[in-house]
Chain A
Amino acid sequence: MKEWSIRAILVAALIALGIWSWGIFFPSPEKVIRKRLGELAKVASFSSKEGLVAKAWNANMLADYFTEDVEVTVEIPGSQHTLSGRAELMQAAAGARSAVSSLSIEFPDIKVTLAPDRTSAVVNLTARGKIPDDKDYYLQELRMRMVKVKRDWLINQVETVKTLSLNSYRRGLPWGRPAPL
């Protein structure tokens, strides 16, 4: 009985180890996207202690997360701005970096919905930004469309969303408007 129990425990441990190893070596697209967005939050954050070279390096790194034809639609009360293309987005990011001395960004919630062909995904996320001098956090809900390009997941579309303003019809759509791809 005792020998049987030990064998059962060993088999269960081996199965658990196998499942864990499989997840490490062959992560699911959801896991890859979450990891990538976690990296994006780190790259988009910066501190006043960063040197000019580090700032420029991180700004360049940011470009690696977006497709060449990325489109970002930002809606703020009373107006809507659209950034088209990676160059324009990087220019806006550089402007934001010069406007504040430091910024800490995190994504406390990420919800990934994969397309049936598993080469694109819609990601709803909550972004929280903190500027050290301000006592409040800045909160923004975003909806992104990510596409798989070779082995990387890149952001192709971004739009700001508001849970309280969306109607149930629009919430159910995979994307707010026809995707250009």
Chain B
Amino acid sequence: MQSPGWVQRVLIGRNPKRTLVRSAVLVVVSLVVFRFVLQPIRVEGGSMLPTYKDRGIHFVYRLAYLFHGPRRGDVVAIRLLAGGHVMFMKRVIGLPGETVAFHRGHLYINGKPMDEPYVKLRGDWEHEPQPVGADQYYVVGDNRDMPWAYHEKGRPTRDLIVGKVIL
């Protein structure tokens, strides 16, 4: 039997049947991993600057909150009401039952100032205490230099939080 040429060996290997099976397994595993475990996302906009830059590619770990809820400081992906093709990427700053306020750009949880080492662009936000509901998380971007009115922030419920941004 004539041995396959080097082009064939590079493209489909010595055993085409085995290569086919391997390719099929690779495709299925990739689909499952990138759809249900590590979902790739692309950042649009500057609300998470300077931590996450515009147009950057990152991954959302969808299994991060299987056994516990989001924690303060986690950067999470939040789906919109209509679906999950477009998501918000925000940082969790307030947990269920807490109150969140801003004074001179600094975060106050239950009236106490919080240290936020990830905030490099600090503005002068002033906002009265807002209660966070029992099933809600207060999320906001790292770029606090944006005007309050134009910065998307708020209290999504737990079911809208898709996972944790890890890479």
Q: Which residues of A contact B (CB under 8 A)?
A: 77-78, 108-111, 124-126, 128, 136-137, 139, 141, 143, 161-168, 171
Contact = CB atoms under 8 A, between A and B. Distances in A.
Interface in B145-167: 149-150, 152-157, 160
Given A164-B88, A164-B153, A136 B44 contact: yes
Nearest to B156: A164
Given A139-B86, A168-B133, A124 B155 contact: no
Contacts of B86: 108-109, 126, 128, 139
Interface of B: 44-45, 78-86, 88, 90, 133, 135-136, 139, 149-150, 152-157, 160
A168 B44 contact: no
Given A110-B83, A126-B80, A168 B152 contact: no
A126 B152 CA distance: 15
29 contacts: A77-B150, A108-B83, A109-B80, A109-B82, A109-B83, A110-B83, A111-B81, A124-B82, A125-B82, A126-B82, A128-B86, A141-B81, A141-B82, A143-B81, A161-B81, A162-B154, A163-B78, A163-B79, A163-B81, A163-B156, A164-B78, A164-B90, A164-B152, A164-B154, A165-B154, A167-B133, A168-B133, A168-B135, A171-B81
Given A78-B149, A126-B80, A139-B86, 20 more contacts: A77-B149, A108-B83, A109-B83, A109-B84, A109-B86, A111-B81, A124-B80, A125-B82, A128-B86, A137-B44, A161-B81, A162-B152, A163-B88, A163-B160, A164-B88, A166-B81, A166-B154, A168-B157, A171-B81, A171-B157
A167 B157 CA distance: 8
Contacts of B133: 167-168
A82 B82 CA distance: 23
Nearest to B85: A108
B102 to A, nearest CB: 16
Name which of A78, A128, A162, A168 has the most chain B CB atoms within 10 A of its CB: A168
Contacts of B88: 163-164
A171 to B, nearest CB: 7
A166 B136 CA distance: 11
A169 to B, nearest CB: 10
B76 to A, nearest CB: 12
- In order of increasing CB-CB distance, the 8 nearest A-B pairs are A164-B154, A109-B83, A77-B149, A109-B82, A108-B85, A124-B82, A124-B81, A111-B82
A163 B83 contact: no
Contacts of B83: 108-111, 126
